[in-house]
Amino acid sequence: MVKFVISMSRAQKRFVLFLLDLSLVPVAFAAAFVVHSGIARSFGAIALNWPLVPLLVVVAFTLSLSLGTASIKLKQYDMLAAQKTALFAALLAVSSVALAELGKLNIPHGFHVVFGLVYFAFSASSRIFLLHVLMAIYSESAAITRVLIYGAGRTGMTLVASLRNRSDIIPVAFIDDNATLRDLVVAGLPVYSGVHIEKLLKQYRIDRIILAMPSLSVQKQTFLSRRLAKLGLEVQTLPAFSQLIGEADLVDKLLPIRPGEFISREPFRTETASNLFNYSDRSVLVTGAGGSIGLELCRQVIAHQPRRLVLFEMSELALYNAEMEFRVLAEGTGIEIVAVLGSVLNGNVVSRVLIEHKIDSIFHAAAYKHVPMVEANATVGLENNAIGTAVIAQKARDLGIKRFVLISTDKAVRPRNIMGASKRLAEMIVQDLAKRSPKTVFSIVRFGNVLGSSGSVLPLFQEQISCGGPVTLTDEAVTRYFMTIEEAAHLVLLAGSFAEGGEVFVLDMGEPVSVNDLARQLIKASGYSVRDAENPDGDIEIVTTGLRPGEKLHEELMIRKGAQTTAHPKIISVREDHLSELETAAALRDLSDAIEADDVDLAQAALARWILGFSKSQGVQDNLPKNGSRVERN
C-alpha cells in the first residue's frame, strides 16, 4: 500500500480527488436531511428526493472540472484552496435549489443551505484527513526526504512553495529564532524556536535541514551548519540544496545581491605571496575582535592555521558571540581560541595577555569609528583610539612582539572630525615607535569604507528600504571609497606580512563611489523605483539631511603625494610625515591632560597643535595649520 501511494502519478492523484468530489455529493445529501429533519424523518425524505442526486453529481462533475478543485495538491491545501471548496459547495447548493424547483420537489429551502455547508465540511475535512494519512505514509518511507527549513522569512516561504511541487521532498516545519514568529503557522508550516530542534528531529523524523537565510555571511552559515551537524543531521545551505534537486534557478530568485556588485570592483582572489611572514603556527592577537573588521580578520587568520588566536574585546556580548563562532570554526584544527575581556587602555591586562599567551602578532582593530558618535563623545573617543593605541603599541615594543599592525582609516587624512584626528594621532604614535623598535615590526594599514561593516551605508539603506523609505542621504555630492570587508581583511593580512617597519600601507580602493548613485542602485536592485521630480509615482524617496558635524564631502587616502608599489598591486606604501619622539610624548601629554579634565576645547587645541590640517575653530579646515601651530614632520 505504501509503495503504491508513493508511486502514484500526478494524474492518478487528480483522479482520486475528482472521485472524492463526486462521491461526497450523495453522502452530503443524506447527511443534510439527517441534520435538517432528524433521523426518524430523514429516511422517507431521502428516498422521495433521491432522483435529485444523479443530477447534483453531474453538476459536481462540471464544477470540479471548471474550478480545478481536483488539481489542488493536498500539500498545497491552504486558505485559497479552502475558498475554492467553499465556492464549489455554494454553487452546488444553488444548483440544488434550482433543480428542486424545476422538478417541483417539496424540499424546504433551509435544506439546501444545510446541504451546501455539509458538503463544504466533508470536502475540506476529507482533504485534511488524506493529507495526514499521506504524511504518515511518507514518514514511514525511506524514499521521502523530510526537511526542516531554518529561516521562516521570504526565502524560506518561497522555498516551501517550490518544494511542494515535488513528491520526494516534504517540508515539515520551520525553525526561526525570531520571537515574533514563534508558534505561528507560516506557508502552512508551524514555526519553532531553535531550542526545540532535538525534539523536532524525533517528532518529524527529520532527514535534512536547509538553511534558507542567504543574507547571512558565509562564515555565519558555516558556524550554524557545524552546530547543527553535531546533532547528526545533514545540513545544506540554499545554493547547494537547490543545485542538488535540479532547481539552481531558484538561487537567482532568492539570493540577495552581493555588496561588491554595487561598487563596480573586480572580485578579489585569495592569494599568498612567497617569502613573507607566515601566521601559521603563530600566536595571534586581534583587538576589537567582536567588531566587523576584527571578526573578519579572525576568520581569515584561522584559515592560516595559527597555533593560537586571542580575541581581545571590551564588549562582553560581542566577545561571547565571537568566541562561539570561532570555537566552531576551529574545531578539529588544533587551533586554541582564547577570549579575553578587557580594554587596551589597561596596560597591566595587556601585558599579562601578551606574556601569558606568547603573542607573536597583534592586529589592532579596536576603535570607536562612528564619526557623529565620537564627535559627541570626544574625550572618550580620543582616549580609546589614541591613548589606547599608545598603551598596547608600547607594550608590544617593550615585550618584543614580532609584528604590530594598526588598522587605520581614510578619515585620518587631513581629518575634519575628532574620530579622524584620533586615528591620525594613533598612526603617528605607531610611526614614532617604529623608528626605535629593534624587535617589533610596526606597520599601519589605511583604507576607506568597507561594505557590510557596522555603520556602513549599505545595511542602513537596506533597512530603510525594507521599511518603505525614505532613504536618507547627507548630501547628493558625497563620495566615498568602498571595499568589501573580506577583501579589506585579506589585504590587511598580506600587508602586515611583508612589512619591514614603519610603513603606512594604503589599500587601493579604486575610484570613489557616489553614495547617491549607490542608494539609487540599491533601491532598484530591491525591486523598487526611486520617487523624485522625474518620477513622482515612484516607491522610495531619497531625502537629503545635510552633512553631520565633522563629515567631508570627499575622503582622501594619502596626505602627501607620492607612493611606492609593493609585492601586491592593491597595496601601496606611502611616506607620511610624523612627529619626533619628544613631540609624540608632548602630544600624548597634552591630550592626556585634556582627557583627564574632560575638556573638549582643550582636547581640540591639542589636536590642532600637533595634527596637520586639523583646526579647533570650525572643528576643521582643509588648509594647513596657522603659523605657530606644530605640524607633522620627519
pLDDT of 261-287, one tens digit each? 455 555 555 555 444 457 889 999 999
Percent of the chain scored above 70 by pLDDT? 77
At 136, which amino acid appears? A
| Phi and psi at residue 44, to the nearest 5° | -65, -40
Q: Are 485 and 258 in contact (CB under 8 A)?
A: no
Q: What is the pLDDT of residues 606-617, one digit of tens each?
A: 999 999 878 654
- pLDDT > 90: what percent of the chain? 26
Per-residue pLDDT tens digits for 17-30 = 888 888 888 888 88
What is the dihedral angle through the alpha carbons of 299, 301, 303, 304, rounded to the nearest 10 degrees? 180
Pairing of strands 361-364, 189-192: unpaired
DSSP state of 449: E
* 3-state secondary structure labels for all residues of 344-373: CCCHHHHHHHHHHCCCCEEEECCCCCCHHH
* CA dist list (Å): 476 to 261, 441, 517, 519: 21, 42, 9, 10
Residue 553's contacts (CB-CB under 8 Å, 6 or more residues apart) are: 475, 477, 478, 479, 547
Q: What's the rounded mean pLDDT across residues 309-328?
A: 93
- Distance from C-alpha of 197 to C-alpha of 458, rounded to nearest angstrom: 33
Stretch 407-419: mean pLDDT, rounded?
Answer: 88
**Per-residue pLDDT for 477 more than 60?**
yes
Overall CATH class of domain 145-256: alpha beta
Q: How many CB atoms lie within 10 A of CB 58?
A: 14
Q: What secondary structure letter does DSSP report for 384?
A: I
Among positive and negative, which fits the CA dihedral 263, 266, 271, 276? negative
What does pLDDT average to over the chain?
79
**Which of 13, 75, 395, 411 is an active site residue?**
411
Does residue 253 register a pLDDT over 50?
A: no
174, containing H or E segment: strand 169-175
Residue type, 253: K
292-303 vs 485-497: helix axis angle to the nearest 10? 60
Q: What is the three-state SS of 25-94?
A: HHHHHHHHHHHHHCHHHHHHHHHHHCCHHHHHHHHHHHHHHHHCHHHCCHHHCCHHHHHHHHHHHHHHHH
Question: 241 is written with which cell numbers?
Answer: 540544496
> For residue 326, what is the enclosing H or E element?
helix 316-329
137: pLDDT strictly greater than 80: no
Per-residue pLDDT band for 589 (boundaries 50, 70, 90) equals very high
**Mean pLDDT across 501-525:** 79
Is pTM beyond 0.75 here?
A: no
Which helix H or strand E contains 129, and what residues bound it?
helix 109-139
E strand or H helix that includes residue 3: helix 2-7
What nine digits make up the cell of 40? 426518524
Looking at per-residue confidence, does 439 or 479 come out higher?
439
pLDDT at 633 over 60: no
pLDDT, position 624: 35
Q: Determine the topology of domain 283-610 in CATH.
A: Rossmann fold (3.40.50)
Domains 145-256 and 283-610 share a fold: yes
The answer to whether residue 627 scores a pLDDT higher than 50 is: no
Annotated active-site residue 561? The verdict is no
- Give dist(CA 464, CA 457) in Å, integer: 10
Which sign, positive or negative, has the C-alpha torsion 128, 130, 136, 139?
negative
Q: Tens of pLDDT along 424-476?
A: 999 999 999 999 898 999 999 998 777 666 656 666 776 777 777 788 877 77
Parse the chain into domains and list their residue ranges.
2-139, 145-256, 283-610
Q: What per-residue confidence (pLDDT) applies to 71?
A: 78
| Per-residue pLDDT at 234 | 73
- Residue whose C-alpha is closest to residue 264's, from 554, 523, 481: 481
Higher pLDDT, 328 or 345: 345
